[in-house]
Amino acid sequence: MNGSPGNEGVSPGAGDGTRAVRAGLPEPVKYEPTLPGPVFAAHFHLPGEPTGPYTYGRDENPTWTHLEHAIGELEAPGRDGVETLVFASGMAAISSVLFSQLRAGDAVVLPGDGYQALPLARAQLEAFGIEVRTAPTGADAQLEVLDGAKLLLIESPSNPGLDVCDIRRLAEAAHAQGALVAVDNTLATPLGQRPLELGADFSVASGTKQLTGHGDILLGYVTGRAGEPMTAVRRWRKVVGAIPGPMEAWLAHRSIATLQMRVDRQDATALAVAEALRGRPEVSGLRYPGLPDDPSHKVASQQMRRFGCVVSFTLATRARAERFLDALRLVDEATSFGGVRSTAERRGRWGGDAVPEGFVRLSVGAEDPEDLVADVLRALEESER
Give tens-digit pLDDT for 312-344. 999 999 999 999 999 999 999 999 999 999 999
pLDDT of residue 4: 42
What stretch of H or E contains 4? none
Question: How far is residue 199 from each of residues 67, 167, 172, measured CA to CA in Å?
Answer: 24, 7, 7
How far is the C-alpha of 125 from the C-alpha of 323, rounded, in Å? 39
- Check residue 2 and give its pLDDT: 42
Are 24 and 73 within 8 A, CB to CB? Answer: yes
Distances from the Cα of 35 to the Cα of 38, 42, 56, angstroms: 9, 21, 22
Grade residue 353 by pLDDT with cuts at 50, 70 and 90.
Answer: confident
CA distance 313 to 276: 12
* Average pLDDT for the chain: 95
Rounded to whole angstroms, the Cα distance separating 358 from 268 reads: 25
Q: Which of 319, 289, 280 is nearest to 159 (CA)?
A: 289
Residue 186 CA to residue 197 CA, distance in Å, equals: 16
pLDDT at 375 over 70: yes
Tell me how far apart the alpha carbons of residues 362 and 332 are, in angstroms, rounded to a whole number: 10
Instruction: State the maximum Cα–Cα separation within the chain, in Å, rounded to a whole number.
Output: 75
- Whether 302 has a pLDDT exceeding 90, the answer reads yes
User: What is the amino acid identity at position 153?
Assistant: L
pLDDT tens column, 166-214? 999 999 999 999 999 999 999 999 999 999 999 999 999 999 999 999 9
d(CA 22, CA 34): 10
Question: Dihedral (C-alpha) 39, 43, 48, 50: value to the nearest 10 degrees?
Answer: 80
Task: Find out whether 196 and 82 touch, Cβ atoms under 8 Å.
Answer: yes
Res 89 pLDDT > 50: yes
Cβ atoms of 170 and 181 within 8 Å: the answer is: yes
| Axis-axis angle for helices 369-383, 318-327 (nearest 10) | 140
What distance in Å separates the CA atoms of residue 283 and residue 268, rounded to the nearest whole number?
21
pLDDT higher than 50, residue 150: yes
Cis peptide before 157, with omega less than 30 degrees from 0?
A: yes
Q: Are 253 and 39 in contact (CB under 8 A)?
A: no
Alpha-carbon distances of 233 from 6, 10, 223, 236, 383, rounded to whole Å: 25, 29, 10, 5, 48
Alpha carbon distance 131, 149 (integer Å):
9
Identify the pLDDT of residue 9. Answer: 56
pLDDT at 3 exceeding the cut of 60: no
Distance, CA of 21 to CA of 335 (rounded, Å): 28
- Asked whether residue 51 carries a pLDDT value surpassing 70, the answer given is yes
Identify the DSSP state of 72. Answer: H
Q: Which helix (H) or strand (E) holds 124?
A: helix 118-127
Please answer whether residues 283 and 380 qualify as being in contact, where contact means their C-beta atoms are separated by less than 8 angstroms.
yes
Q: Crossing angle, helix 369-383 and helix 259-277, to 10 degrees?
A: 40
